[in-house]
Amino acid sequence: MKTPLMETIPNFSEGRNLENVEKIVDAFRGKPGVRLLDYSSNPNHNRSVVTAVGDPQALGDAVLEAIGTALSLIDMTKHEGQHPRMGAVDVVPFVPVQGCTIADADALARSVAERASKQHGLPIFLYEKSATNSERTDLAKIRKGQFEGMPQKLLDPFWKPDYGPASVHPTGGVTAIGARMPLIAFNVNLSTASKEIADRIARQVRNISGGFHFVKAIGIYLEDRGIAQVSMNLTDYSHTAIYRALELIRMEAKRWGVTILGSEIVGLVPLQALLQSAEYYLQLENFQPGQVLETAIWSDDGDESAAMQGRSDSK
């Protein structure tokens, strides 16, 4: 087994006072077993997004510290920004990256939610894969009404938080915590300038209008290239693979005599999601992730018995 690595991408409602952002981010610095990968602040959104990975336990502790710092520094009664938000710590996803499962991420989300609610009297909703009912899966539904509407919303028994009191934290509002699979931002460029065709194809591929369960998609027009694009978020590549979305788009595009010019992955993508596609297109039989040389080297199992046939320089 590999060292378990969890990822978290907490969103904080502070994107202008960068001194305070640094104080929040400090929770992920210099901690054994925790690695800060990225953070960025958007002044228009008045929001910062942090990305860190690490040992689940150590990462949970760091998140808990960051939540405490954020609650002490951010006053939501004075917060304004273009991005929807309901709390100082708006949302904390936990994402299994390596050697751990979505169930491990869910357990960590619940543990952090319980501790944060107790320490700070913070109401917390479990969302995505941790959601306790289907209405709470979608963050947008939980956040509807935003910070200003939360006091009223929490009065409704249907919206009793999963942890903490049924009333907002005076300056910190409400937080959503949950496990989710890594998002993959995957865009497919079409040999047409018609946004309408891209829109039609997007509707065929996305969950909400009858397509694949874990695909969100819209059609857009790329001014600089004069072409249309199907822009997607793949929310669980383990159930809806990249190649499957691509091939469905190819199939539907044929109806219009449109072909695929290319595609792009924006930002990071889990290795496994690309291996799935290589395995599909190469029609590999009995392929094991442990056959990937880098994976074999990086694994921590101390096992010397990697499958090495065919590489003996005998030929």
Among positions 219-238, residues that touch its own copies (CB under 8 A) are 233
- H/E element holding 110? helix 102-120
Smallest separation, CB 214 to its own copies (Å): 13
CA separation for the pair 29, 49 (Å, rounded) = 15
The answer to whether 58 contacts its own copies (rule: CB under 8 A) is no
Length reported for the chain: 315
Binders of its own copies in range 137-176 (CB under 8 A):
139
CA separation for the pair 68, 60 (Å, rounded) = 13
Cα 207-99-295 angle, rounded to 5 deg: 100
CA separation for the pair 162, 178 (Å, rounded) = 11
The answer to whether 110 contacts its own copies (rule: CB under 8 A) is no
Smallest separation, CB 269 to its own copies (Å): 6
Task: Please tell me the count of residues contacting its own copies according to CB under 8 A.
Answer: 73
Q: Over the range 184-207, which residues count as b (16 or more CB within 10 Å of their CB) and which as e?
A: bebbbbbebeebebbbbbbbbbbe
Among 49, 73, 220, 222, binds its own copies (CB under 8 A): 49
Beta carbon nearer to its own copies, 166 or 307: 307
Specify whether the CB–CB gap between 154 and 173 falls below 8 A.
no
Beta carbon nearer to its own copies, 18 or 261: 261
Smallest separation, CB 155 to its own copies (Å): 26
Q: What DSSP string runs through 211-228?
A: S-TTEEEEEEEETTTTEE
Cα 259-252-224 angle, rounded to 5 deg: 45
The answer to whether 53 contacts its own copies (rule: CB under 8 A) is yes
Beta carbon nearer to its own copies, 121 or 144: 144
Q: Which stretch binds its own copies (CB under 8 A): 1-9, 101-109, 149-157, 190-198?
A: 1-9
Beta carbon nearer to its own copies, 149 or 262: 262
CA separation for the pair 173, 79 (Å, rounded) = 11
Among 216, 217, 227, 248, binds its own copies (CB under 8 A): 216
Spatial CA neighbour of 244 closest among 209, 204, 284:
204
Active-site hit among 83, 120, 169, 213: 83
Beta carbon nearer to its own copies, 94 or 159: 94
Binders of its own copies in range 69-108 (CB under 8 A):
83, 91, 93, 97-98
Spatial CA neighbour of 21 closest among 31, 7, 11:
11
Does 120 participate in catalysis according to the annotation? Answer: no
Among 189, 192, 204, 240, binds its own copies (CB under 8 A): 189
Helix (H, G, I), strand (E, B) or coil at 277: helix
Among 16, 23, 35, 141, binds its own copies (CB under 8 A): 35
Smallest separation, CB 157 to its own copies (Å): 27
Instruction: Give strand pairing partners of 41.
Output: 48
Smallest separation, CB 64 to its own copies (Å): 19
Q: What residues are annotated to the active site?
A: 83
